[in-house]
Chains A and B, each alone.
Chain A
Amino acid sequence: MKKSFMQFVMGTAILGLAMTASAAGISSNVVKIGVLTDMSGVYSAIGGKGSVTAAKMAIDDFGGKVLGKPIQLISADHQNKADIASTKAREWADTEHVDMITGLLNSGCALAVQKIGTEKKMISMATGAGSTTLTNEHCSPYGIHYVYDTYALPKVAGSAIVDTGGKTWYFLTADYAFGHSLEKNTKAFVKAHGGKTLGQVRHPLATADFSSYLLQAQASGAKVIGLANAGGDFINAVKQAREFGIVQGGQTIAGMLVFLSDVKSLGLDVAQGMNFATSFYWDRDAASREWSKRYFAKTNAMPTMDQAGVYSAVTTYLKAIKKAGTDDPDTVMKTMRGMKINDFFSINGYLRADGSMVHDMFLVEVKKPSESKSPWDLLKVIKQVPGNEAFMPLSEGSCALVK
């Protein structure tokens, strides 16, 4: 009895050793990447099928193989519900042996998946979510926040607007975590640059009629009406502000999170002159144009920063596996932290200990209809802001992994 128990212990130990040894190389002989995104809901124009296409392009461009093993792609719809996202992520980790999940279009889903990633040692690279909690209170050794956050956007756009004369602000804020965080951060930058907030109104998510809120904003007399919302809410608010003559009356509309698809949806007539911050614009330079045109050929739309970010995230991940010689998550994360991330999407990018992928941000302006030469010629880049200025300094953050 005793002997057999010892044998059992020895056996387990040897098995354990064997498993550690096989950590070099590719686990389960395949690298599996999962795109979890909004396929049919409010944010599906921002990510959706376009993100899956971008991930597929990244894998194809990488040659379909890494370290001699095939790369597989799977995708699913998180329906913007955190419980669905976490069920899917758990299933992917347990039965599909997915190595990395990207996409994640809303903060609730991203937080849920990042938490499961921590538990299962599965890397998550959130490209669509905004909340800074991903890299602060809830930061994870396996969680990466890749494209933008609710600190960098208002830092770039809010500060620039205050500096050019927009001293008084009134906020229309989506009434949930993302909106609140965006509003709070923007207010802080407005204040830091000598501006003042006159008031705010919180509207429910997915509001069709903004006119009541707009009249309140108009009555406040603020120079700038800050929109701390996204997607359809942002579009309706801007459209109706124009209908009520708010812009013509001398007030400026400032969107704190604007995607290219939103500008396309509004049209230049309505959106012209608006300034906002973005991580990416397709017509920024030769490299971004080259990739975006290839993307356009497949999807018939120019990429949003989320879709371009998915390509970049997948490529960076695959490069890290190649460099590390393994897909072991700890080693890959360590390798990524040591890499410079420079491609058509990310300029001067690097991955910080808290999970932020810090890279240059851009202040852009929507073109006038007369300046636009083609259907997707929508923006002009006004200013390039270095990543270290745009993103929250590590010293201000609250991530427990940063010592």
Chain B
Amino acid sequence: MHLSYQMVLAQLMLGLNNGAFYAILSLGLAVIFGLLNIINFAHGALYMLGAFVALIGYTKLGPLLGMPDFHMNYWAALIISPLVVGLLGVLIEKTMLKRLSKVDHLYGLLLTFGLALILQGVFTNYFNVSGTSYNGKPEILRGVVDLKFRMFPTYRLWSIGLSLSVCFVTWFVIERTKLGSYLRAGTENPALVQAFGINVPLMITLTYGFGVGLAAFAGVVAAPIYSVSPIMGTEMIITVFAVVVIGGMGSIMGSIWTGLSLGMLEGLTKVIYPPAANTVIFFMMILVLLIKPAGLFGKEQ
């Protein structure tokens, strides 16, 4: 196989594109794990739900409201979908996860896994499993851009830029602002933080809502690229868990860097040895766990 530098650059860009999705999703998982100590197995299903909110808003909402020409456009979906899913997250936390906060992690994992199966099952019942096209891509993001080394779809560039910005903002808020320091302190010693007059339970609820909102956001960004399908989350979530494990559970920066670099590694594997494309991330996971059991960026507890 002849590898020109243009080819390698193009593959790295594509890898970055997938890596940015891995980064947002694993970021959400890391935030939730860091603050709630819950391994959120419903993350993939909520990513799927995010994409579906965009799709339903674009194709079905208008007719449902009696205005057949009304479409919730892409820009609106970018904001509304994370809000809707975030609200659902708040509801899940308030009514279910809260009850499990005192017991073993395993129960939270089982509960969220069950939620994922239910969500996926319901959508499979009503939507085409092979996927439905999301046609709401705005005019301005259609077409291709000349990157000198090759033509690249505008939307993919946009999705890389947008995802990276969201990752950065999240990192900044949690690591560099006062609100973030409350959050971090709340996980270290909730009783002490509460004694300072900070409403820790509310903070935890909102954090879960925010984490799953991020997943929904990734879903909206992914909708125009992939087909919107009830099983899109299942396929994604396994890889994302590997990313979180490699990066170190609970590490914000770790999950961003790991997501991006593993996306690129996967992209290169797709040219160098395609049959290993699905396994290379898991191979890395084994390697990292052997050398650094807490993950690349994780702290040993």
What residues of chain A have their CB less than 8 Å away from a CB belonging to chain B? 40-46, 48, 175, 201-204, 206-209, 211-213, 215-216, 219, 231-232, 235-236, 239-240, 243-245, 261-262, 264-267, 269-270
Contacts and interface: CB of A to CB of B under 8 A. Distances in A.
B231 A204 contact: no
B10 A265 contact: no
Contacts of A204: 275, 277-278
Given A206-B235, A215-B10, A236-B226, A201 B130 contact: no
B130 A265 contact: yes
Contacts of A219: 7
Given A204-B278, A219-B7, A44 B267 contact: no
B241 interface: no
Contacts of B177: none
Given A40-B121, A208-B232, 8 more contacts: A201-B274, A209-B14, A213-B270, A215-B150, A232-B129, A236-B226, A245-B144, A264-B128
B112 interface: no
Contacts of A41: 129, 231
Interface in B236-282: 236, 267, 270-271, 274-275, 277-278
A50 B216 CA distance: 31
Contact of B130 (A211, A232, A244): A232
Nearest to B150: A215
B58 interface: no
Interface stretch (B30-38, B131-139, B198-206): B131-139
Interface of B: 7, 10-11, 14-15, 17-18, 121, 124, 128-133, 135, 144, 150-151, 153, 155-156, 225-227, 229, 231-232, 235-236, 267, 270-271, 274-275, 277-278
Contact of A261 (B124, B130, B135, B231): B130
A212 to B, nearest CB: 4
Contact of B14 (A212, A232, A261, A265): A212
A236 B131 contact: yes
B61 to A, nearest CB: 19
B82 to A, nearest CB: 21
Contact of B11 (A40, A215, A239, A262): A215
A261 B129 CA distance: 10
Contact of A211 (B14, B144, B151, B232): B14
Contacts of B10: 215
